[in-house]
Amino acid sequence: MEEKLILVDENDNVIGTSNKLEVHQKGLLHRAFSILIFNTKGELLIQKRAVEKYHSKGLWSNTCCSHPIEGENEQNTINKKLKQEMGIVTEVQFAYHFIYKIELDNGLIENELDKVYIGEYEGEIKANPLEVSDFKWIGLELLRKEMASRPRDYTHWFKIIVNEHLEDFNFASSNSKF
């Protein structure tokens, strides 16, 4: 059975469902989530998307991202995807959401209400090679410098998160619990 993505209006009211490819071909506004996992040093775990991905392949991005699906509890989907992509089990908390729309290089359109979740993790990373080709921990200052010098190496939504929203949060506390 094909998973259906959740279509929403700009106020996050559900207006229907559709399959993933159709959503991205037509640029329909839908729910997505982005997970940011920090260590106790305040470094962010980022991943390089596998080259087999249907869009934004080979680009650096946030720790994990995906879509809530029809009929599944959103928190369960988040936990499942974080474990599936990075081999991580940790608590995450909702931080904020934003809407963006961008045409991708392969004729697809991202039009997402992206809910950002934040968590903390210390431990082994077991990245799934079907999802992730590389990963690293990086400080936010260095990330911003690298992103400014090589913006084409990063996903569109991740650049928005880093450049427009991260300054609202303090992640560098070793005692932090997001």
- Which residues are known to be catalytic? 65, 112
Residue among 175, 164, 162 nearest 62 (CA)? 162
How many angstroms separate the CA atoms of 155 and 125, rounded?
21
CB-based contact 103:37 (threshold 8 Å): no
Bridge partner residues of 112 (DSSP): 30, 100
Q: For residue 147, what is the DSSP state?
A: H
